[in-house]
Structure 1
Amino acid sequence: MGCCSARCMLILLCCLQLITTLERQVFDFLGYQWAPIMINFFHIIVVILGQFGVIQYRSRYVIMYLLWTLLWIGWNVFVSCLYLDLGGLSKDSDILSLGVSSHRSWWKDNGPGCESAGLPSAGWHDQQNPELTTVLSCWLEYQYIEVLHCIIQLLISVRGIKTLCFVVFKQSVESM
């Protein structure tokens, strides 16, 4: 195996996906967004299995990872459309929290350069209700940060699909 082979590239892409998905998972946990938490968790497991398949020449794991990557692309397109309010979707809906809680993206209140103002009464500052804080302005609005997460995942996934197809084809030719 050469240092610039398709398998090495795929292992690198898997590592990048793991790092970016773990980062995304942390912020989804902070925002109590349960649907992304579950899908990110499943994605992490499938990426690890895919990486194992690439390292151990297991075509079934690589094909499973390829199929999951197609679903992962669909998920990221859905989340992007949700945050950009495209296709009848609304970022203000409780789809991502599965209707369990009223929580939303962590970036909404804690984005880069966000200035927030609480209620003037000192008694309200002890409460942990996120609805009591008003965000005045941010350098970058939260929905664009979430879409950036999706774009990064999409770029890695599209590159990964190209490499996956090459690796699967090469492994099937070598096994003949």
Structure 2
Amino acid sequence: MGCCTGRCTLIFLCSLQLLAALERQIFDFLGFQWAPILGNFLQIIVVILGLFGTIQFRPRYIVVYTVWTALWVTWNVFIICFYLEVGGLSKETDLMTFNISMHRSWWREHGPGCIRRVVRPSAPGILDDYSYVSVTGCVIDFQYLEVIHSAIQILLSIFSPPSLEMTSLILVSCYF
């Protein structure tokens, strides 16, 4: 096996996809965003299958990886549209949390340069432990950080050569 083969490239890009998905999974867990957590979990599983299929010459696993890559790109395009509020989508809805919790993106309050201040409501009858969070001074808004994460996922998916690898595996298996 040479150093610059499509197989090595796919292994390298799958490893990068795995690291990026794990990083994204951590921050989605911190924000209790259940829809992205589910998507990231599936991404991690399918990338591991893609790695296994590449290393062990299993064309069916690479086909599953290829089909999932198309779905993953579609999901990340939806995430970009969601956070940029394209087509009537609103980042203020509970769509990402399946309406289970009031949590939002972890980056909303903890982005680079953000100053987080808890403001206690002064109105009577409101529980003392219920507080509002004021965030100021962010270097980059949270929705753009989420868009950057999705764009990185799309780029890693587009530049992986599963179709080239799958074609070569099928050709090799036809001759043996």
Give the corresponding residue for 2:20: 20
> Alignment identity in percent?
50
**Displacement after TM superposition at 1:120 (Å):** 5.8
TM-score by length of 1: 0.92
Return 5+ residue gaps in structure 2 as ranges. none
CA shift digits 1:100-147 (9 cap, x unpaired): 0010000000000001222268xx9x84x5x52111220000000000
Residues 86-101 of structure 1: matches in 2 within 5 Å? 86-101=86-101
After TM superposition, where is structure 1 displaced by more than 6 Å over at least 4 residues in a row? none
Report SS of the residue matched to 1:135. Answer: strand
Structure 2 partner of 1:117: 117
Query: What is the aligned residue count?
Result: 169
Displacement after TM superposition at 1:42 (Å): 1.0
Kindly provide the CA deviation profile for residues 48-93 of structure 1, in whole angstroms up to 9, marking residues without a partner as x: 0110000000000000000000000000000000000001111111
Q: Secondary structure at the match of 2:159?
A: helix
CA contact (8 A) 2:34 2:96 kept: yes
Shift of residue 170, structure 1, vs aligned partner: 0.7
TM-score normalised according to structure 2 size: 0.92
Instruction: Name the counterpart of 2:141.
Output: 141
CA separation in 2, counterparts of 1:57 and 1:119? 57
What is the RMSD computed on CA atoms of the aligned residues? 1.5
Where does structure 1 lack aligned partners over 5 or more consecutive residues? none
User: How big is the shift at 1:175?
Assistant: 1.2
Question: Does 1:85 pair with 2:85?
Answer: yes
Output aligned runs, 1:98-109, within 5 Å: 98-109=98-109
* CA deviation map 1:132-164 (0-9, x unaligned): 21112200000000000001000000001xx11
Report Cα offsets for 1:8-40 as digits up to 9, x if no partner.
000000100010000000000000000111110
Matching of residue 157 in structure 1 with residue 121 in structure 2: no
The amino acid across from 1:132 in the alignment is: Y
Matched ranges for 1:31-46 at <5 A: 31-46=31-46
